[in-house]
Structure 1
Amino acid sequence: MTNRFSDCTSLLKEHQIFQILSEFSPEFVGSIPIGVELPQSDIDIICELKPSLLKVLDSFSSYPGFQLSEKVLSKVPSIICRFRLGSEKVEIVAQDLPPKKQIAYLHMIIEEKILKEKGDNFRLSVLEKKKSGKNTEEAFAELLGLEGDPYFSLLEYGKRTNE
């Protein structure tokens, strides 16, 4: 775990973000929890989409940079809420799936396993790829020599390696 992860977790607790989202099973995912973040990386939170969620997300409207939108991510309709907590950007993505079945969670688990297996040099290579403009999944896919869509090829890689 990185210091940034601890700092972000403290910030989320301070603002009671997980408490506010508790009925939607929030999960802190993405590059920060696995230590491959860049300074500009968002705090990514996923949760389950339920009818009462929009009202709860609207409670964040007083935060700077608040935006609420709908988008299809990896063929799944999603609600996206963005805002700032101090110097950190927060992005909450809600889908009509339990969070541990969502692609963002699955990617993080696969990436974390790869990082443990391949070590610090691989992690540093991921960070270099990200610094050159790749996102996390693209960086992993390229370093692993995966073909096609990096989002889906990474999931397939995880299945093949028994994740």
Structure 2
Amino acid sequence: MLTFEQLKYGTNNQQKAYDSIKKLGIFEGLSEYTPVLCGTIPIDVDIEDSDLDLILEVHDFEEFKLLVTSLYSEMPGFTIAEKQIRGESIIKCNFIYEGFEFELFAQATPVKKQYAYLHMVVEYHILKRKPYLKEQIKQWKRDGYKTEPAFCKALDLNGDSYESLIDYGIRHSIIEEVNHD
């Protein structure tokens, strides 16, 4: 799993993602929310239309909405929505920049305890232990699978794929116990 800074030495798409994020200044502009890049690009299972998922720890949703609106509302495809996921309020902001769809995902949970981060860590460790799965995961993603269901299919995990990956991570001592329903 590459850190953000390591992306500049990664694959072509990782380098492009790094450049776009740097030009956008997202880590500086949203630094108080401890942004972390998650998803497929840091673990190199991205495909042609993969987005850039940034997760953030936000406690004041109104202040955050004002800030991201002021920073990104002029971007193509800008949307912002407040939702409930697993009983917790979240804010999702999407927009397009330099050919990448950005998704900012904010909730009042430390970033290293958010599902997106935990899934990425589990997926990274799975690929370290079973590197032969990488191309199959990418193919399933091209066939329409989301990342977590593709990993669950590869591991023959049943049930809710988002919960199953967390459970797998706990059972295999990749991550510690987390509060999940």
Fold agreement, TM-score > 0.5: yes
2:152 is the counterpart of 1:124: no
CA distance in 2, matches of 1:19, 1:50: 18
CA RMSD, Structure 1 to Structure 2 (Å): 1.1
Structure 1: 5+ residue runs without aligned partners? none
Flag as ranges the 4+ runs of structure 1 deviating above 6 A: none
2:53 is the counterpart of 1:44: yes
Q: Counterpart of 2:82?
A: 70
Identify which of 110, 118, 123 aligns with 1:98.
110
Q: Secondary structure at the match of 2:105?
A: strand
Q: Counterpart of 2:31?
A: 22
CA distance in 1, matches of 2:46, 2:86: 22
CA drift of 1:72 comes to: 2.1
Identify which of 112, 115, 121 aligns with 2:127.
115
CA distance in 2, matches of 1:94, 1:32: 19
Q: Counterpart of 1:137?
A: 148
CA drift of 1:55 comes to: 1.7
- What percentage of residue pairs aligned between the two structures are identical? 38
Q: 1:31 to 1:74 in 2, by over 3 A?
A: farther
How many residue pairs were aligned? 162
Q: Counterpart of 1:79?
A: 91
Q: Which amino acid aligns with 1:104?
A: A
CA distance in 2, matches of 1:106, 1:140: 14
Identify which of 160, 163, 167 aligns with 1:156.
167
* Deviations, residues 80-128 of structure 1 (Å, cap 9, x unaligned): 0011112111000001101111000000000001111101x21001111
Q: Secondary structure at the match of 2:41?
A: helix
CA drift of 1:74 comes to: 3.7
Q: 1:72 to 1:2 in 2, by over 3 A?
A: farther
2:23 is the counterpart of 1:11: no
CA drift of 1:129 comes to: 1.2
Structure 2: 5+ residue runs without aligned partners? 1-9, 175-181
